[in-house]
Structure formats: structure tokens, C-alpha cells
Amino acid sequence: MQRKRYDPEFKARVAFEALKGEETLSLIASKYRVHPNQITQWKKQLKAGMKEIFKNSRQKCDEKNEDLENKLYEEIGRLKFELDWLKKKL
């Protein structure tokens, strides 16, 4: 017997519906023809994934800011060097 494979969109929709709590797990399970334990597992994955979404966006922002800061410090150093060189020449 072959296992059923569900696409991520389906899993997210079912898990989100379970997370809302408007209907019981049994009702959602019969509606989508999925075992309630599977829905519980997807619901846990959704909760964990939501934390990662916000965590990663902050890390990406911090990394971008750090890269920009490094580039700006490099530019400041280069300009300071050029200014000092020009002062000596004049």
C-alpha cells in the first residue's frame, strides 16, 4: 500500500484551520479525510514554522544592515585616506 502524500499548501490549510479552533479535530479530519493525529502533527509544525518565519526575517535584516555598515566603513576609510593624501599634496 502506498502512502498518501499531501502538498504543502494542503497541509498548511488544514493545520491553519485546526489552529483557529473553530471546528473540532474530528470534524476537520472527516472534512479533509485525514487522520486527527496527522492534523495535530501538522499543527505543531505550523506553530514551529511561524516562529522561524519571524526569526529569520529579523536575522536577514540584521545581516543586511551589517553588510551595509561594513561597506560604509570601508568607504569612510577610503575617503579619509584620499583626504589625508590630498592635504599632504597641497
pLDDT in tens, 35-53: 999 999 999 999 888 877 7
More confident residue, 57 or 20: 20
More confident residue, 58 or 34: 34
Give the number of domains in the chain: 1
Confirm whether 21 is domain-assigned: yes
Average pLDDT over residues 64-70: 90
Confirm whether 70 is domain-assigned: yes
Cα separation, 22 vs 61, in Å, equals 35
Full-model pTM: 0.58
Q: Is residue 25 within 8 Å of residue 18, measured between CB atoms?
A: yes
Count of C-beta atoms within a 10 Å radius of residue 16? 13
Cα separation, 88 vs 78, in Å, equals 16
Count of C-beta atoms within a 10 Å radius of residue 43? 20
Confirm whether 2 is domain-assigned: no
Percentage of residues in the chain having pLDDT higher than 90: 69
User: Which uninterrupted H or E stretch holds 33?
Assistant: none
Domain residue limits at 56: 8-89
